[in-house]
Structure 1
């Protein structure tokens, strides 16, 4: 399934009529009015890439009062990436910041500095 999001800039005040026309176009699955440079965003889902191109070029762009469009085609996430994330993120949390059950146990003998000499006498 191919998906595209089409951002539409139109003549002021013509948004409701364009939104209505977009709802009538096959394969447009969602239409929303927006604030900002673009007035409307439409989602298109199609099994055929040429049909997707046809909807954008021959139907949406040719609607009356549509000034410009910007088409966004999402990228697909790499397969299996979620499984790799725990392996590629290093353990950078210092021991003293980890929960007690995760900290390495340190014996009292390891705490003693062997190079320390008592010079108080």
Structure 2
């Protein structure tokens, strides 16, 4: 499994609409509105790196209202919750 944190800035006045659109994108498991440097944080969970690349470069580019993104690729799992989830999926 390949996980990533995607930091997102939306066009002015579009935060809620972008969040709702992102929640419907395959591969995005969670979307949070935030305060600070970024408007939204999305958690991506994909099968492999190629699926993550397709999500970031194609599916997110199709979401209207996104101004820019920064993707943080998860390298190593340190959360017990993620480990339990991974093993329950047969990984």
| Cross-structure match for 1:53 | 53
Q: TM-score, normalised by structure 2?
A: 0.77
Contact 2:8–2:66 (Cα < 8 Å) also in 1 = yes
Match of 1:67 in 2: 67
Higher relative contact order (CA 8 A, sep 6+): 2
Instruction: Give, in angstroms, the shift of residue 77 of structure 1.
Output: 5.7
SS in 1 for 2:62: coil
Runs of 4+ in 1 over 6 A off after TM superposition: none
Give the alignment's TM-score, normalised by structure 1: 0.59
User: Are 1:22 and 1:31, in contact at CA under 8 Å, matched by a contact in 2?
Assistant: yes
Cα-Cα RMSD: 1.6
Task: Name the larger-Rg structure.
Answer: 1
Alignment-derived partner of residue 83 in structure 1 = none
**Which has the larger share of strand?**
2
Structure 1: gaps spanning 5 or more residues: 79-121
Tell me by how many angstroms 1:66 deviates.
1.0
* Secondary structure in 2 matching 1:6: strand
